[in-house]
Amino acid sequence: MVVGNREKSRNKVVIMADDLTPSVLIIEDEEAIIIMLRYNLERNGFLVHSSSDGENAFALVQEMKPDIILLDWMLPGCTGIEICNQLRANDETRAIPIIMLTAKGEEADRVKGLDSGADDYIVKPFSPTELISRIRAVFRRMRPAFSGKILNFGDVSMDLSTYKVIRNGMEVHLGPTEFRILQCLLEYPKRIFSRETLLTQVWGYNSDIELRTVDVHINRLRSALRLNDDDTSPFIWTIRSAGYCLQRSSD
């Protein structure tokens, strides 16, 4: 999840993570629609980015890692269907929720859009209120951090309203960086996160932090989550040449 606060590092603006501010990327070539969407989304607490360039959309998504994408079907150079297929075929972007925006309202078109990997499909013209409701519905299904207050996996519970983490009934004391890493892992249990993805999600996509810093904070997080001195179960597993994954020893 991206953005919120900005800090300067080495004369470069670095966009830092704000855990509870969902970011939206609008990929749409009609300026009037972008303006309308931006106004309504920002009023409802979303951080908004936009692009009218379908050909560069895939690279932009990889760079930004938005929390949700509003994707127009008819784009110059590259259709929304093609972009959706690209995003779903890539491990780094396949889990990002996508709502397709289109003037194509026939049943066959809706089926094609959903089959390409879109999580929802809304026909133009549409009500901004309905769109906000659709976004929140997608988040309830796919991004619980933006729709609820508690994330659970196994014997670990994270309360996003109080910033408390409990494991096996005992409070776990985490630094802010370890908290954000654990939140990423809890949102997608059993998903493998590369170091690059965690770097983007936790420190921001323009961060100058080195990859080995991720390993340092993962080790701190593992130590904090240990049930006792004899607990050797990894809980956060290292997947060789791939990254890290949250799963239980019994899975």
Q: What is the pLDDT of residues 44-60, one digit of tens each?
A: 888 899 888 877 888 88
Answer whether residue 3 shows pLDDT above 60.
no
Taking only the tens place, the pLDDT of each residue in 70-94 is: 998 888 778 888 888 888 888 778 8
Which single residue is written with the structure tokens 């960086």? 177
Q: Give the β-pairing of 192-193 and 243-246.
A: antiparallel
Side chain identity, residue 182: L
- The one-character DSSP state at 33 is H
Q: Hey, how many other C-beta atoms are within 10 angstroms of the C-beta on 210?
A: 11
Give Cβ neighbours of residue 74 (< 8 Å, ≥ 6 apart): 29, 80, 102, 103
Q: What structural domains does the chain harbor? A: 23-142 (3.40.50.2300), 150-246 (1.10.10.10)
Output the six-digit token pair for 160.
């996003």
Check residue 119 and give left, alpha or beta (phi > 0: left; psi -120 to 50: alpha).
Answer: alpha
Let me know the angle formed at the C-alpha of 197 by 193 and 199, rounded to the nearest 5 degrees: 120
Question: How many angstroms separate the CA atoms of 96 and 99, rounded?
Answer: 10
Q: Which of 54, 67, 74, 84 is nearest to 25 (CA)?
A: 67
Taking only the tens place, the pLDDT of each residue in 14-48 is: 333 344 578 899 999 889 999 999 999 988 888 89
Question: How many angstroms separate the CA atoms of 219 and 134, rounded?
Answer: 38
Mean pLDDT of the chain, nearest integer: 79
